[in-house]
Each structure stands twice: as C-alpha cells, then as structure tokens.
Structure 1
Amino acid sequence: MATPDPAALSTLVLWLGFGLAVLLGATLQRSHFCSMGAVADILSFGDSTRARAFGLALAVAIAGFGLLSASGQIDPAGSFYTLPTLQWGSHLLGGLIFGAGMVLGSGCGARTLVRIGGGNLKSLVVFVVMGIAAQATLRGVTAVARDRSVDRLVVALPTRQDLPSLLQLGPSAQLALALGLAVVLAGLMLWRSRWKEVLPGALVGLLLVGQWWVSGHLGYLPEHPDTLEPAYLATASRAMEGYNFVSPAAFTLDWLTYFSDSNRVLTVGITISLGLMLGAGLSAWQSGQFRWESFRNPADLGRHLLGAVMMGVGGVTALGCSFGQGLSGLSTLAVGSLISTLAIIAGAWAMLRWEAARLERLA
C-alpha cells in the first residue's frame, strides 16, 4: 500500500469541506434556517416551522453519524464531544451566555456568516468582535477566568460521554439506538408540518454527515508518516470536526492577521466559515436578496457589540455554539452537548422575553 501524502490529503479535506460549506450557506440563506429564529418564532408567533427544520436536521445527522460509526467509516471516540470528562459547568454557563448573546447579535454564528454573505455589515462587525472575544476565551484574559472557574466543575465518567457508551451498548444496539431516535424525531418534526419549509433541514443534516465523513474518515491517518501516531488532518482540535462557528471565527482572524507566518495554516473550521459565507452570498445575489445593511443608531451598535462578545465568550466556554453543540455535538448523542443545547435555548428564551418586556415599556 502506498504511503499517503499528508499535505495532499489535507488539501483535499480542506477543499471538500469548503465545497460542502458553500452548499450549506446557500441552503441556510434560501431556507432562513436559524436556531435563534426558531426560538423567536415559537415565543413571538407560536410558529414551530423553523424549530421543526432544525429538529429534522438533527434527526438526519444522528442517523448519519450512527451509520458512519456502525460501518467503521468513523470512530466516535475521535470527536472531542464524546470525551469522558463532562464539563457540566462550562456547558451550562457558556450555553446560557451564548443563547442570550445570539439574540442581541441577531443570530447565531452560522446565521452571522449567512447575513454577511447577504450584505449585512452589522453581522460583519459581530463576526469580528465575536472572533476577538473567542480568541480571548481560548487563550487570553477570559481564558484564565474560565480555567479558574467553570472549567473546574467537571465529572470524570468511567467511559465516553455519548449515550451508547454510557449504556455500554454493542455495535448493533448502538446503531439501533441512533436510528430509532432519528426515526422518532423525524416523525415528530414532519407530523402536521409544512413540509416544503421543513425539508431543507434534511439537507442541512446530510451536509453535516458529509463533513463528518470528510473529517473523520477521509482526513484520518491511522499512522502519520512524520509522527507515527494517529492523526486527523487539517483540524484545529486534532480531532474530527463537524460544524462549529465560534472558535473558527477566532482561527480565521488569527490566520488573516498572521498570514505570512508559516506556523499559521488553514484548518477546516476556517475554510468552512469562508465557504458558508460565499455560498450564502451567491444565493442572495442570485435570488435578488443581496442588500447592504448597517446599524440604525448607536444603541443598535451597542446591542450587537454586546451580543458578539457574549457569543464569543459563551461559545468557547460551552465548547460549541447552537450549531456546534445543537447539531454536530448532539449527532454524537453526547451528554455535554445536550446540556449546552438546553442552556442555549434557555438563554435565548430569557433574552427574548427581556427584550419583549423592554419594548413594551418603551411603547
């Protein structure tokens, strides 16, 4: 067997991740797929359409991840979501902060990139500030506070934190669990729903499954020729990666700022972010929806700046955003991802209620 070329394989992983992200960006832009919008629609209008699309995406992602795992295409242990250390404090507090922040910032990390592609300058500011806040929380001043507080609230589990491992299920039972949960969830999401508005969620889930395969199978080397150790190529976490849009904002700014530094290399998180933005931009331009948009007044600017900081701090602390934990993480059936996702929903719900009360007082 020929020895694989890590550099050439890394390039292929980056390009395929970029291509999938272009399709994802176009899908999100056309369907208005958004986790924050899903919560807002339920609270404001009693409309669960976008929540059902999100749930259908999750169902497809759970089934796809389960099938890839059962067939040996990927190893669930290769994801950082399934680590045996459950950082419940970080998941809880980070999720609450991120959820509230995405309301103030007019959307989650993925929606921010989609809006940039559509000409929204407010979202460009949110992306930059979110990236700076994420950098600080990864290895700066906020990182020190995080490390000395919530990151110490952990539970050491006897096995990985994904549900199949905790239940000590065999391969067949693991697949049955994943497919069973996916079928039940998909059925609930499609029952009495407006199918045309919900079905784009299935494509979002399929694209996530594709990214899991690219990162966890195509980009995996059982023995890297330089280190003689297992390696996942072109990932910042050195694990297989799905979709996440907070830490990659920090990595994107870092790569752009230190572009001439040979130690700064492209990773899948960066190419996915750029691909998502491009796909959304092409879709907005083709459909005639591209519009330049900026802040209405200083209060609007301040609101988005605060939301961006909260998303950067909260997303890193929670080990993922509403997309990273709510879809990528939950597709692995990780307990930590469930805690983060519920906390994000609670934070968004609380901030939406506070905003509604504030507007009523002003009226």
Structure 2
Amino acid sequence: MTQANTMAPAAIRPGPDRFVVGLALAGLVVLGGLVWLETAPFLLALFAIGAVLGVALYHGAFGFTAGWRNLVTKKRGAGMRAQLLLFALAALIMIPILGSGRDDVIGAVAPVGTSLVVGSFLFGIGMQLGGGCGSGTLFTVGAGNLRMMVTLLFFIVGAVLGSIHLPWWLDLPAVDPISLIDWVGVPGAIAVQWLGLGAVALWVNRIERRAHGDLERTELRLRPIEGSMAKALFTGRWPFLWAIIVLAVGNALTLVIGGSPWGITFAFNLWGAKALQGLGVDMGQFEFWNWAYPAQALADSVLVNIPSVMNFGLLLGAMLAAGMARRFNEASRQTPRGRPFLAAVVGGLLLGYGARLGFGCNIGALFSGLASASVHAWVWFACAFAGSLIGVRLRPWFRLPN
C-alpha cells in the first residue's frame, strides 16, 4: 500500500511530450546542419538565437496583441508595461552600439510618411483579427496552433501583395528617415526614448488605476508565481522579466552578429515570392523585387537570409518549449471554421500588407525601431494602436473573445 501511494504521483505526473520534443530537436539539428553547410558560422549563431527567442516568447507568453487588448477591454496594463520595459532595456543596450561609429551595424530606421501611417494602422487591425503580431504568429504556429497557421499563410499572401504595391505607396508624401542618434547623440537619444516610454507608462497606469484602483505588478517578479525557478524555466510560465531580458539581449546580439536588428516579416515576403517563382511567376516584373536586397534574397537560398533563418529557429524553439511543457496544440485542436476562419484570413492579409507598407511588424518596426532611436517607430506605435482599437471592436462580430 505504501509502495503504491509512493509510485502513484510519479505515474500521473505530466512530463515532456517526447514526440514533439524529439521532432523539435531533430529539426534544430538537421536545419542547423544545413545552415552550417550553406553559410558562414555566424548564421548558425543567429539560428540558435532565433530558437532561444522562440522559447522566451512561448514561455513568457510575450505576445504584443493580448497586452494591447487587455488594456482596452480589461483596463489592465501589465502586458503593456512589460513591453515598455523591454523597449527601454533594448534602447539602453543597442543605441550605444549604433552610435559607436561602427560601420558594420545599421539600425532599423525608416521614412515617416503615408506608407508608414497606413501600413501600421492596417497592421493594428490585423493583429487583433489574426490573433497575433509577427512574433506572436510565429511562436503560436510553432506551438501547434491551427488557427494561427491560417493566419500565417495569409500573412505571407498579404506581405507579397504589399511588396508589389510598396513602390506606389513610397511615391506618396513622406519625410526621410530620422535617427535621434544623429540629432541628439547617444545619451540624448536614450533620454528621449526613456522619456517617451515613461510618458506612455504613466498613461497606461492612469487607465488601470482609474478602473481598478491599483496596478498589477507581476511583470516585475523575478520568481515564478507557482513552482520552482527550474521547473518554470522548462515548462513555463516565465515571469515577464525573464522574457524581457532574453528578448532585449537577443536583439542586441542579432545586431552585433547580423549587422542589423531583429526583423521577422521580410522573410514572409521572401517565402511567398519564392513560392510564386516556383510556380512560374516572374517576380522580376515587380519593382520591389528588382531592388538590391530583395533581388539578392530572391536569388539566394532562404538558408542565407537572416530573417528566414531566425524565423526557422523561432518556430522550432517555440515547438520545443511547447513540447517540454506538454502543451503542443493545446490552444486549438480543430481547424477554425466560419467567422473565426474568416477573421484569420482577413487578419493575416492585413498583417502582411500592413507590415510591408509599415516597414515591419511589432518586432522589426516597433521593438527594433525604438531600440534604434528611429522616429518612425513612434509613429508606427501610435497608428498601430489606433488600428488595434478598431480590431478589438470588430472581434465580437467574428465570434472572437475579448
């Protein structure tokens, strides 16, 4: 009887999903080997960084979409404050690197104009209907979410359409890229970014205090709410602060190793264009795919394209994390139908189209843009949040919970 009682907990204790974990590890090894054979070792390092970022995004549940929606619908700002803290830490690390005079690194700096405003606004709507931003779509797909697979497919379609139309949008009124590093130097750029982020944090706190009288403080915890730190490390959920540190350091390492900050959505452009090219479509007929970087990326293997390699790592890292937590495919075990399916289609198209017009997603345009002290990132932030407000109000019609 005593032996039976001793053995019972071990028998029912949930452990890793060995099949999913094994598949993820095999994918990491095989794809990592192909990257090693195809390219210089630095890309293998970026592939590994992508995998770690995927683990952090999954275990930290660090999706921008839910954080924005919770502020609007529940008047709770923990997710938003975590994002602002992430931006502040990344700016502190990356602005000095970009302002050091090195000629082997370049920031995520883009023009401020019609294309940016329209693209980021559409992206904000799309992230609420599609259910995720660029990074959120990827890590949830890696974790086996079937609905997000639909979103990703149409994200790619929208991105290719956006690339075809982008030259027309860029002919509309715009201001040349503005780098705060060039205007006020490294200390001044950090100060401006921190003051701006602090102002947004005060606004978020005011909304939450007016609604609830207090603030959630979970994003500042170093220890997990439940269980040991070791258990949380492998099975989640991580405190926001753990994910913040990993994501900020990961972006800085991407900048130093790859020469530019972390970006996600150009890879979607490339994957869609290569698929069309494989079907016999001449992508050279479109101006965007004759520009130097897109044309070179289209001619090369995806295993030498930094955003693609990092995205592959992110997908497999999230899959590994979901397998370790035994939560792979936990969010959706059935293919979405009806209005939720339509929301994934429409949301994906808006995400892809908006990301191309807006020079990236929450990662490439917002996170990396703010860490690069680019003015365009603030415009992107405001317009995408405005679009997100509309997306939140459209969700009930699509039978999506708020």
Q: Are 1:319 and 2:342 matched, yes or no? A: no
> How much has 1:309 moved relative to structure 2?
0.5
Please say which of residues 8-17 and 39-48 is displaced more in the overlay: 8-17
Q: 1:54 aligns with which of 83, 87, 90?
A: 83
Partner of 2:67: 38
- In the TM superposition, 1:312-351 aligns within 5 A as 312-351=352-391
**Contact 1:120/1:294 (<8 A) preserved:** no
| Aligned CA-pair RMSD | 3.2
Asked whether the 8 Å contact 1:63–1:179 carries over to 2, the reply is no
Contact 2:180 2:189 in 1 (8 A): no
Map Cα deviations across residues 99-130 of structure 1 (whole Å, 9 max, x no partner): 10111101111111111111112212221221
Structure 2 residue aligned with 1:132 = 157
- Look up the match of 1:82: 109
1:193 and 2:220 matched: no
| 2:262 alignment partner, one of 243, 252, 261 | 243
Letter in 2 for 1:164: I
| Alignment partner, residue 45 of structure 2 | 16
Partner of 1:166: 183
Deviations for 1:294-313, whole angstroms, at most 9, x for unmatched residues?
33422211111010010111
Could you tell me how far apart the structure 1 residues matched to 2:358 and 2:117 are?
7
Query: How many pairs are equivalent?
Result: 314
Q: How much has 1:59 moved relative to structure 2?
A: 1.1
Q: Give the TM-score, by structure 2 length.
A: 0.70
Identity %: 19
Deviation, 1:8, is 8.8
Does the aligned pair in 2 maintain the 1:135–1:247 contact within 8 Å? Answer: no
SS of the residue corresponding to residue 22 of structure 1 reads helix
Match of 2:187 among 175, 190, 209: 175
SS of structure 2 residue aligned to 1:148: helix
What is the Cα deviation at residue 345 of structure 1?
1.1
SS of the residue 2:40 aligns to: helix
Match of 1:103 among 108, 128, 146: 128
Deviation at 1:270, TM superposition (A): 0.4
- Once residues 256 and 175 of structure 1 are traced to their aligned partners in structure 2, the CA distance between those partners, rounded to angstroms, is 45
Q: Which amino acid aligns with 2:251?
A: L
Deviations 1:259-287 (A, max 9, x none): 8x993323001011111111100000001
The 1-side partners of 2:128 and 2:95 are apart by: 32
Give 1:179 shift.
Answer: 6.0
CA contact (8 A) 1:105 1:304 kept: yes
The 1-side partners of 2:384 and 2:361 are apart by 8
Q: Is the 8 A contact 2:147 2:336 kept in 1?
A: no
Cα shift readout 1:318-361 (whole Å, capped 9, x = no counterpart): 0111111110111111111211121111111221133358869x
Q: Which residue of 2 aligns with 1:202?
A: 245
Identify the residue that residue 141 of structure 2 maps to in structure 1. Answer: 116
Residues of 2 paired with 1:166 and 1:332: CA distance?
Answer: 13
Partner of 1:154: 174
Distance 1:184 1:162 in 2: 15
TM-score by length of structure 1 reads 0.77
Give the CA deviation at 1:148: 2.9
- Flag the structure with larger Rg: 2
- State how far apart, in whole Å, the 1-side matches of 2:298 and 2:217 are: 51
**Structure 2: gaps of 5 or more residues:** 1-35, 206-214, 222-238, 279-296
2:169–2:357 Cα contact (<8 Å) kept: no
